[in-house]
Structure 1
Amino acid sequence: MRIQDIIEGKKEWRAHMARVKALPKDYQIVYKEIQKYLYKVGPVELTNGIGLLSGIIDLFEEGASLGKNVLEVTGEDVAAFCDDLIKDSKTYADIYQESVNQKGNEAMKED
């Protein structure tokens, strides 16, 4: 990765976080919890940019402009909202499970 790519990535992230800080406080809190959840669950695509997170901000900005409470946008179960967003995405948990299954199958073949 080039230095210029790192600098551009930082600029993009700062602009992204400025959008988060412009949201109402309840939206900011839920956004940060979503961000933590997604980083823990680990959709692989999340590391390739901030597209999914930007989409969430777009949704939140629209909800806030309509005067909606953040839970009207996400629903009461924020984790289920996140799971629905990444349901078709490969996660690090999926990769780990595949690795464990492969090692188990290899061990069974050795017997």
Structure 2
Amino acid sequence: MSDEQNWLTAKIIGPKKEWREYKKRVKALPSPYQEAVAGVERYLMHFGAISNPDSLNHLFGDVLDIFERAAADNTPIRDIVGDDPVEFADALIRNYQQTGYVAKEQQRLRNSIAKAEAEQAQP
């Protein structure tokens, strides 16, 4: 892997050591849980819109923690993700976006509209 690729990988997923440890933990899960984590991971990588690598690593770690606990308790996967796995993943994304760039811009938009509304309401 070139230096540029290493830098990009570290930017997206953080340091290699952490990523390898994460992947090792995923492989330790029973097969159905591995598949579920892989599916959630794929979705988050494509649609997460989380630009901060630390936030993304924490999100992956939290997802893995959930599935590790579920595997240990033999909890059915549907009990974890519910009827709609997309909503499960989207809820995770929303929780992690609340402190990032997207959340700040969303709040700026809300503030701008509220200010415009207040100005319009003045006689």
- TM-score w.r.t. the length of structure 2 is 0.62
- Tell me, in whole angstroms, the C-alpha distance in 2 between the residues paired with 1:25 and 1:46: 29
Quick one: which of 69, 73, 76 aligns to 1:69?
76
Paired-residue identity, % = 31
Quick one: which of 88, 91, 95 aligns to 1:84?
91
On the 8 A contact 1:27/1:60 being kept in 2, the answer is: yes
- Tell me, in whole angstroms, the C-alpha distance in 2 between the residues paired with 1:52 and 1:46: 11
RMSD (Å), alpha carbons: 2.6
- Give the count of matched residue pairs: 89
Matched, 1:24 2:30: yes
Q: 3-state SS of the aligned residue for 1:44?
A: coil
Displacement over 2 Å in runs of 4+ = 45-49
Structure with bigger RCO (C-alpha 8 Å, 6+ apart): 1
Quick one: which of 54, 57, 64 aligns to 2:61?
54
On the 8 A contact 1:46/1:52 being kept in 2, the answer is: no
For structure 2, the residue ranges without an aligned partner over 5 or more in a row are 1-5, 107-123
